[in-house]
Chains A and B, each alone.
Chain A
Amino acid sequence: MKNIAIIGATSGIAQACARIWAAEADIRLILIGRSQERLTQVSNDLKVRSPKAVIESYEVNFTDPRAVAACVTYVTGTYGLDIALFAAGVMPTQELLSTSPALAAETIALNSISPTLFAEPILQFFTNQNHGTMALIGSVAGDRGRKANYLYGASKAFIATYAAGLQHRFAKTPIRIVLIKPGPTATAMTAELQADGIRMAKPEKVAQDIILGISKGDAVIYTPRIWGLIMAIVRKVPAPIFNRLNF
């Protein structure tokens, strides 16, 4: 049986991934989230869709290092682990982040620090068993800072650099580190942008790309794929021009 831990399992993108995974044969999904109530909602949904899948859930405080360590010990010890996907995250507006240092600190704690709290002990476990895939969700917003969301972008750039370092560390092993960079996706996170009529990728599409990329052990997944090209261009625009653009 393949054991997959989805950390931040109630996120829109994570739920779409879980629905695809749950339909596979011989799967145990371990849903990790901050609220058991929300986890139960997701787990019930998956059980209706895929009665054969085994679904477990675990509630934990994502920014408490000791609680996270205990969670990883429990999950790896009780079920074992083959794939872990970290998908939690928040994206307050830059305006709010600029005026509330506490919110900025919380954002960095969840988006940047929390993934490392999970990843390090999980990778220790993967090292011991000599296999495993650790997937982290960054963002296209981490590829270049923009005035509209630079603190969020920076928290995601952290993930990119962190993942690159891990890829270096595990290069000569069977352990895979997958960095996922979604473009704008229609989930709760982007509700306000959607309400303004901005078109977004469907989470189902993004989830398909993520699951395929994880199964192949891709180093970096842009999803939808067009964002790889877009960001290649965006990264190359010279600063004097970039800084005059309004987006």
Chain B
Amino acid sequence: MKVHSWGLLSNEEHQIELTDSNFKHSNAIGIPMGLGRSYGDAALNPGGAIWLTSALNHFIAFDEERGEFECEAGVSLREIQALIIPRGWNLPVTPGTQFVTVGGAIANDIHGKSHHTYGTFGDQVISLTLRRTDGSEMLCSPEQNSELFAATIGGIGLTGLITKARFALVRCTSPWIEMESSPFNNLSEFFELSKSSAIGWESSVAWIDCVGTKAGRGIFMRGNPAAKAESKKVKERQLGLPFTPPISLVNKATLRALNTGYFHLNKAKAGHSTVHYQSYFYPLDAISNWNRIYGPKGFYQYQSVIPHDRAESATQEMMATIASSGEGSFLAVLKVFGEKTPRGLLSFPMPGVTLALDFPNRGASTLELFAKLDEIVIRSGGRLYLAKDARMSRPMFETTYPNVSEFKKYRDPGISSAMSRRLLGA
């Protein structure tokens, strides 16, 4: 059947196979897919097989004394949080959506607003079970099969099917977050705010305006778990886009209005507030198919990280490049990573600043802009995030991910994806 990823850039025929814990790989070359929340081609394999992990949906153990959770790899973070938060525990690391699987969280070694406090999802993993296409099953941890463990964390599905994993939790006092939001006028102010939030704030993130003359202003948000339970009732929020609009609703005509509106709305709300963790961490989850607002041609997300020494100047330069290109982004997110070096051979985060931008797919002009941004990223010693990528060149990948040749040793020869063929040649 036809399958697309989150960015809706392609929709091609795949052979779908449902995996469960007894899964036997067929002869077709395949790639695991969780909830398909990667934007590009990490979980796509046109003409070949996709191994859907939705039947790997069992919880295995919840150690409420030590704060450890074990489950099969197709379980979503949303299901886990719904279970553990009322019982006083939480996941230390989650991305901007709860609709990702444990397998996907490990295979992209995802990060969240708490990166400066807890590192990546892979940093929480105590052990995982990997099923290779030769039929072997391996327990991997920092002690056992540690090289394969390091290759699998951030290994974009290429080392085997993760069937289950055990990971560490953090204590959680309530589902509420005490948050503070502060408008800033330029990048220097952003970096100041980040520095002052590195300690004492569990999570932080900023939205930044990158359109027009006011580009560089934004809203800085930081939060801590609220100490005691609020008794407010939360409504299950779930809106949906009923159809794909014929053109992108995010376009030149609407972008400036969207950005200005967003800035002033949030500036007006600046200050302290207590908010539910879902609306603080996963605001976009309230609209189920928001990716469709970009219309039938889909959209790209461009997410880079730039090391500290060049962080401000390179970000400045990227913003200027975007502003002068006429392409614009509504969802522009900026965050300073912590100092922890991730475990995965292909993990994305590094000490520095990450910028994530959504662009409607306008064909050649969008790609031209990316080429200019690539040049800044490479020159500054940064890299792009594979979970979001659909178009990076192989030379750029090889220059910016230093462990590529080491990683290749741990690949499963029965696995290949559109991304692996594009970036690793097979």
Contacts and interface: CB of A to CB of B under 8 A. Distances in A.
Interface in B56-89: 58-62, 71, 83
A49 to B, nearest CB: 6
Interface string A188-203: 1001001111000000
A194 B18 contact: yes
Interface in A133-190: 188
A44 B60 contact: yes
B18 A41 contact: no
Contacts of A45: 58-60
B412 to A, nearest CB: 22
B18 A49 contact: no
Interface residues on A, range: 10 to 19
Contact of B59 (A49, A196, A197): A49
B58 A197 contact: no
Given A195-B1, A196-B1, A197-B1, A188 B60 contact: no
Interface in B39-62: 55, 58-62
Interface string A33-44: 000000001101
A102 interface: no
B16 A48 contact: no
Contact of A195 (B17, B20, B55, B60): B17
Contact of A42 (B15, B58, B61, B71): B58
Interface residues of B, number: 16
Contacts of B71: 48
A48 B18 contact: no
Given A195-B1, A196-B1, A197-B2, A188 B59 contact: no
List the 3 closest pairs (A to B, CB-CB), nearest first. A197-B1, A195-B16, A48-B59
28 contacts: A12-B55, A41-B21, A41-B58, A44-B58, A44-B59, A44-B60, A45-B58, A48-B60, A48-B61, A48-B62, A48-B71, A48-B83, A49-B59, A49-B83, A188-B18, A188-B20, A188-B55, A191-B17, A191-B55, A194-B16, A195-B1, A195-B15, A195-B16, A195-B17, A195-B18, A196-B1, A197-B1, A197-B2
Given A48-B61, A195-B1, A197-B1, 10 more contacts: A12-B55, A41-B58, A41-B60, A42-B58, A44-B60, A48-B71, A194-B16, A194-B18, A195-B16, A196-B1
